[in-house]
Each structure stands twice: as C-alpha cells, then as structure tokens.
Structure 1
Amino acid sequence: MTVFSIFLEVNTMSLQALKNINRTTPTDAEQPKGFPAMLEQFKGEIARALPKHINPDRMARIALTAFRMTPKLGECDPRSVFAAVIQSSQMGLEVGLMGEAHLVPFGNQCQLIPGYTGLMKLARQSGLVQDIYAHEVRVNDNFTLKLGMERSLDHEPLTTLGGFPAADDERGEVAGFYSVAVFKDGSRTFVAMGRKEVEKIRDNSRGYQSAKRYKKESVWDSDFTAMGLKTAIRRLCKFLPKSPELASALALDAAAEQGKAQNLNLTDVIEGNYAPIIDDETGEIADAKPVTSRDARQSRPGGDPVEVADATGKKVKVDGVSAIATDPSDQEPSARLKAIYEQMAKATSTDVLDEIYVRAEGDLDGPELEALMREYRTCKAAIGRLI
C-alpha cells in the first residue's frame, strides 16, 4: 500500500467519522453533549477534513469564543453549530470578533451570517477583483454622484485641523452609502444607495421585523452604519464575478435576511459540496432543499405522485417514474459542462482552478451552475490533498 493510498484511506475514515454526527440525535448516548464537547471529540477528524490553509487549532479556539459570546447558541442543535463553523472554514472566513462571519441562533438551529468584511475578502479572492471597499456619506460631507455614459463618484469627508476627517458628530447624520470594486485591469464599478433605500431594505428584513415585534434591539439598531456598509457591499457583489465561496456567502446572507432556513447539511458541508438552491427569478435561496428523484425513489418506491424539484428548482407534483428525470445530479452533464470539467481536472493549483470557474460561471445558471459549484469544490479538495 502506497503512502498516498494510506492517506486517502485515513482521510476517508475521518470524513466518515464526521458524517456519522448527522446520523445521531442530540439524545443519543454516544452523541457528545453540546458543541464544545463535539468540537473536542472530533478535533483530529476536523484537522484532516479542512482545507490545508486552515489552522484547525486556531479555528477551534475562534469557534469556541464565538459560541460562548452568544449564550443562546447553547440552545441550538450542536450539529447545526458544527456545520456552520465547518462551512465558514471551507469558505475561508473566521467567525466572531474579526467580523468576517457570525454564528446566530435561528430557532433551534445555528445560522452562519457573513459580515461585510467577509464578503469583501471573498470578492478579492475571486481572482479578478483587486480591491473592494465601502464608506458611509454624512450630510456635511462633499459628495458628488454622476451617472450616464461617463459615471463618476467623488466623496470628500468633512475635515478638521490638519486635513483629517472630522468626528462623526461633526460630519452629521448618515445620508447614504456607496461601495467600489477595482478590477485587475484597473477598471472600476460602484453602487450608491441613499439612506431611505437602505432603511427600506432594513424594514423588509425578517430579523429586524422580528426584533421590533418582540421589542428587542437588532443589529440595525446597535450598528446601523456597519449594516449599511454591508448592504452596499452586498448589492455591489451582485455585479461582480463570483467564486463559489462568494456565491454561497451571498445566499447564506440572503436566507438570514429573509428569515429562511439556510439548509446547511452537515454531510455536504464536510465534503465541501454545500450549494444553496437559488430561485432563478428572485435570486433568493429556497426555503428548503427540494425533494429530488433519489428522495422520491427511496420514499415512494411504488410510483405514487410525489412533490419534486423541476429544472428551475420549483416544486411540482409528478408520479414516481417521471420524478427520475428531475434530479440534476442524475442527468448526464451537457457537452459544455463536460468541457469545463475536463479543464478543472487538469488544474494544478487553486489559482488556475479559480480562474476556470470564474470565467465559466457567468455563462451558467440554475442546475448547471449548481453542478459546476460542486465539481469545483471536488477538484479543489483533490488539489488540496496533493499539496
């Protein structure tokens, strides 16, 4: 047996050990009690399952700190906290104090919510964005916006002695926000949003509505500026080339804003294959993972009518035989996807792989884009094992 085959066998066993968490319930005798115990018990397996650039000890320390800072997380299913932490690590974001991502209770489940610094980090990692940033504009600043054939945006904050920016109270109330992206070729794009537009987005947020209903303080109340910056960054990201990590982060964030479950399946997260189901028309994450033909065959082998997802991810009633054709993972990849898969398989570094993905994702949508994201993560994991 070669060293490489031994490594693959050990790594497969580690992944299987992690997946077994999903087959237990919080009341099982062998289930570690609580997230801290689970993290400690599976520390070795986590180290072998994470991408090579992630330090498992640092990840564990940061995750425990974030967990302890939010006591309500102790009421969540520890497996959901575990899944959120692993997913954050897979995307290359750190939860907690750095603001790249946050662990937030959602009923008895833990949600992973990217911060605006995390979105900016993932945009830069796409390989085509050189820089990305956002600022608030206050009423006493000098701000000029020009749209049309020649767009421009100029912002001069109110200054004090020595030419330094004045204090926030001197600059006045927040009037709006803008975000800017600089591409590798030096070209730029931007978005600008007035305060009323941002407040309208805030008012439509399920989290904000829930906080108001129960007379609690929301993050919009405690840190309006940070949330406004994130809103501007999030809108800008819609117009940028997106890596699978950025696409997943945006979908997770959208689910949290809409008050929907993120459907962080622990098995998919561990394998690096989490790909949220997105509605092509609205751009929103689906409320639940659609039932596929594989689910239909397992639950209704007699061919009775079942509810499955069609090619667009929408649920439709079909019979057990017709359901077989609706699962994208059961279908043969198109010639276009096969060609992209072949290019990905030949990639010898993550940089090359990222470039192939970013150039391809703009021409795909729906099930094909989801399939591409899964293949990308499979190839990325293979490259990581060979490094």
Structure 2
Amino acid sequence: MSLQALKNIRNTNNNAAKSEQQQGFPAMLEQFKGEIARALPKHINPDRMARIALTAFRMTPKLAECDPRSVFAAVIQSSQLGLEVGLMGEAHLVPFGGQCQLIPGYTGLMKLARNSGQVVDIYAEAVRMNDKFALKLGMERNLEHEPLTAPGGFPASDEERGDVVGFYAVGVLKDGSRTFVAMGRKEVERIRDGSRGYQAAKKYKKESTWDTDFVAMGLKTAIRRICKFLPKSPELATALAMDEQAGRQNLNLDDVINGSYTPVVDKDTGEIVDVADGGK
C-alpha cells in the first residue's frame, strides 16, 4: 500500500499548515478525504472511517485542543490496523499533552489476536470475592473459575459476587492447546500506578479510565499480558507497542507515512522491548 498521497499533507507550506491548525480536525478530514481514500487498504471504506472518526472526535471535546495532524495520524493508523475508534471499544482517540494518541482497547487486542489465524479464541474474566477460583501451576497447569450463581443457576449480580479480587485471560490456539495468565488485584493496581495517564490524572486531580472503569482496564491488562505469549501478527505487535508507549511517545504523521513506528520484539520471548525509530 502506498502512502504517497499523505505526503501532500505533511509537505504543505507553513501558511497552509497554520490554516489547517485553525480549522481543526473535522475540516482537515474533509479536505483530504481523497488522499485518505487512496492511502487506506482497499477493504476499508473511507467514508465510514471518516464518520466513525468524527463521532469519536465529537464525543471527546478535549481532542479539539490537540494538534489536528496528530488526530489525523491516529485515525489513519487505526484504520491500517483494522480497528474502529469509538463506541465499539476497539481503539480510542486520547488527548495527551496537546497531542492525540491512539490507544487500543482490549476488544481491539482480542480482535487482532484472532486475526492472526493462529488464535481460535481469546477472552478475559474478572474474579470476584464470592466466586470459586482455583489456580494450579507447575507441571499440570490448571485454572478453574466458578462465578457465584443466583437462584435457578443464573449468574449472580456483581454486587452479590463481591469486590473484584483478580483477573485472568485465556488463549486457545489453532492446534487446540490452551494457555492462560492470572493476575491478582494488587498486581493490576501496581501496573495501574505505573501508567503515565493515571499519574497525570492524579496530578491534576482528574478521573482516569482506571477510576471510571477499573474492570475494563483490568481485563485489558490481562489480555495484554497473555498476548505476549501468543503468536503475533504485525498488526497485533504494533498495537501492543503503541499501548505500551502510551504517554511516552506521540504518533505523528511522519510515523504513519514512513512506517517508522515499528515494535522491536525479543525473538526468544516474543516480548515487545522497544519501538524502532526508523533510523531517526
């Protein structure tokens, strides 16, 4: 896929760039709709992508304060990964320090894992205080989770099941083998406390996603952990790298055009250890 058309955006003169900055992302998206269509994979409908992006943009007023080029780059990158931003939860446009960052959601990571062709199923669950949970490691690994049930055998409410005490994720491979990871609440909270987004929210006394939707973030943490042990497509590896770099490195239009946003993966462990800089 050629991204030559997008270079027209990057190479606009300073006056045009200032004009785009003033008009904002919606005007920029409309202005370069033709270039977007030529740059996206053939299976991506540019009009639908534009509608989804505008909806997500308007649902987050703070994005209007971001450099519109960073929003544009995030939208293009999400489309190239095959993730939809917004209500589906596959990916999110997140303002951070005047720049827009693309943050994959846990449903997006699961989608990319399945798209690898090697993962038949992948899922995560929260374990609550009144559930039955048994974990066995060693030579015969096993995980059993029996949520508390209500009369009739139906699932009990979250309130009846009690506070969340941990999370786990399971991956089922094409050959029928399974693998899993389990994380206690304290471990998840330690990861939360190391998040730059969470730290920034606390510094400025604002709510973060960890505050408003702890369970979803815990599920994502478990999914992200298990993905390190699963076969990875280039799209999944890139999405994981972007998620790990959130708050540390901004995705810009040059990264998208030049393909320089590339994860460095440990060949032995499969763990993402860095992000290549494309020789910059």
The TM-score, its normalising length taken from structure 1, stands at 0.67
| Equivalent AA in structure 1 for residue 88 of structure 2 | M
Bigger helix fraction? 1
- 1:26·1:77 contact (CA, 8 Å) conserved in 2? no
Distance 1:162 1:27, change over 3 A: farther
Pairwise CA distance, 1:285: 3.7
Aligned residue number for residue 121 of structure 1: 111
- 1:277·1:289 contact (CA, 8 Å) conserved in 2? no
What is the rounded CA distance, in whole Å, between the counterparts of 1:246 and 1:36 in structure 2? 28
Larger CA deviation: 33-42 vs 95-104? 33-42
Count of residues in Structure 1 that have an aligned counterpart in Structure 2: 275
What is the rounded CA distance, in whole Å, between the counterparts of 1:250 and 1:236 in structure 2? 11
Aligned residue number for residue 125 of structure 2: 135
What is the rounded CA distance, in whole Å, between the counterparts of 1:152 and 1:223 in structure 2? 29
Q: Of the two, which has the highest radius of gyration?
A: 1
Aligned residue number for residue 42 of structure 2: 52
Aligned residue number for residue 23 of structure 1: 11
Question: Which residue of 205, 212, 225 maps to 1:215?
Answer: 205
| Equivalent AA in structure 2 for residue 222 of structure 1 | T
Residue 175 of structure 1 pairs with residue 175 of structure 2: no
Deviations 1:338-380 (A, max 9, x none): xxxxxxxxxxxxxxxxxxxxxxxxxxxxxxxxxxxxxxxxxxx
Aligned residue number for residue 266 of structure 1: 253
Deviations 1:49-83 (A, max 9, x none): 21122111111000000111111111111111111
Aligned residue number for residue 231 of structure 1: 221
| Equivalent AA in structure 2 for residue 194 of structure 1 | G
- 1:144·1:155 contact (CA, 8 Å) conserved in 2? yes
Pairwise CA distance, 1:25: 6.6
Residue 275 of structure 1 pairs with residue 261 of structure 2: yes
Pairwise CA distance, 1:30: 7.9
Distance 1:277 1:132, change over 3 A: closer
Secondary structure of residue in 1 paired with 2:181:
strand
Deviations 1:239-263 (A, max 9, x none): 011111000100110011xx3013x
User: What stretches of structure 2 of length at least 5 have no aligned partner?
Assistant: none
| Equivalent AA in structure 2 for residue 24 of structure 1 | T
Larger CA deviation: 28-37 vs 229-238? 28-37
Question: Which residue of 35, 40, 44 maps to 2:25?
Answer: 35
Identity %: 75
Secondary structure of residue in 2 paired with 1:209:
helix
- 1:66·1:103 contact (CA, 8 Å) conserved in 2? yes
What is the rounded CA distance, in whole Å, between the counterparts of 1:93 and 1:105 in structure 2? 18
Secondary structure of residue in 2 paired with 1:72:
helix
Bigger strand fraction? 2
1 or 2 for the larger relative contact order (CA 8 Å, sep ≥6)? 2
Q: How does 1:1-387 map to 2 (within 5 A)?
A: 15-24=3-12, 27-28=15-16, 31-32=19-20, 33-256=23-246, 259-262=247-250, 264-270=251-257, 273-276=259-262, 278=264, 283-286=272-275, 289=277, 292=279
- 1:87·1:270 contact (CA, 8 Å) conserved in 2? no
Pairwise CA distance, 1:29: 6.5
- 2:44·2:79 contact (CA, 8 Å) conserved in 1? yes
| Equivalent AA in structure 2 for residue 193 of structure 1 | M
